[in-house]
Structure 1
């Protein structure tokens, strides 16, 4: 199945377009993780457990931070793809970041990110490689898809946002100005974006 691969151009980093694909029901997470651990250059991707991604904006903020650090020679890890996984984390511990946000052998929903760090890496080359490598259902990289995947409880725990309400929490709608689910999710998203922006700064 041809992946629904989206290519995003970061405005002030025109030389590093970013290719993003979202998958559900991944059947070969263990082998993908093994390729990553083995350092297989063909599998140099950021492989993120999509249940830890709240929204499209959440993902783009982490990607932006990592690509920006890459372009300014500020990487804390060995390449921009591992840096993307680390950039999702509010903590600076690299091992902890991979444990919470990276692919595991049991990952069912996967966000895949590839940065064009060379001219050979194109939308078509990434799409072809993913088509032959990932055994899963490709879905659009959008808020609708992510809302069906996100594990709000795990995300709040990772970002230490337990005090914030979760979307879907029963709120007395008779109260004046009771927040809607969208309001609750937006507040959560803003707190996460702040954590990403401030990490290690």
Structure 2
């Protein structure tokens, strides 16, 4: 089985020397262990660990990551570090505990989005890839919209963002295509993240 590579993403409008490393896993078997490492403050496990069923699309994830990294660079963090800020940035409200309940890893998480920001020089693509390979018991998959569409829990995402009136992507619509519904939902979710606290 070939591993999907850890992806390095350079976010537009942010310094090139501060990329983010992103990996997506399915069928995770040790979510409880990973969550315990976070709760214990084990710095080796300082990642944003996001329940991927709550991620609508690549754009959704990158919007939350961008917001958190931008706040980190401008000394505006509301949580303890840039990784917890990423989880917090998924929520459209200013409630850190709620963001972890709704978007963070749970003991029952099976699909996991992992994000690492290299806040010190020794954090490299290779060091993160090696650590994740040793630490996460799951299948590494490509971080793309196709796979996320198989993972996303549309009903839960719409409920968290209070978007129940919007059509559900993938469902047959009287007017428009499933792509239109998906785009509308994505724009609403991204807008909610961007407008939080403004």
TM-score bracket relative to the smaller structure: over 0.9
- Indicate the residue corresponding to 2:183 in structure 1: 186
| Residues in 2 aligned to 1:52 and 1:73: alpha-carbon distance in whole angstroms | 27
Q: How many residues align?
A: 196
Correspondence for 1:61 among 37, 60, 63: 63
Q: Any idea what the Cα deviations from partners look like across 1:55-89, whole Å, max 9, x if unmatched?
A: 00000000000000000000000100000000000
Q: Which residue of 1 aligns with 2:102?
A: 100
| 8 A Cα contact 1:3 1:131, kept in partner | no
- Summarize the alignment of residues 121-200 of structure 1 with structure 2, pairs less than 5 Å apart: 121-172=123-174, 178-200=175-197
Q: What are structure 2's unaligned runs of at least 5 residues? A: none
> Alignment partner for residue 21 of structure 2, among 14, 19, 24?
19
**1:118 alignment partner, one of 117, 120, 128:** 120
User: Normalized against structure 1, the TM-score is what?
Assistant: 0.95
Q: Distance in 2 between matches of 1:112 and 1:48?
A: 6
Question: Do structure 1's residue 7 and structure 2's residue 8 form an aligned pair?
Answer: yes
Q: Post-superposition shift, 1:13?
A: 2.1
Between structure 1 and structure 2, the one with the greater Rg is: 1
Separation of aligned partners in 2, 1:187 and 1:112: 26
Residue 131 of structure 1 aligns to a residue in which SS?
helix
Provide the C-alpha distance between the structure 2 equivalents of 1:119 and 1:46, rounded to a whole number of angstroms: 18
> Mind listing any 5+ residue stretches in structure 1 that lack a counterpart?
173-177
> Does residue 1:52 correspond to 2:49, yes or no?
no
Specify the alignment match of 1:28 in structure 2: 30
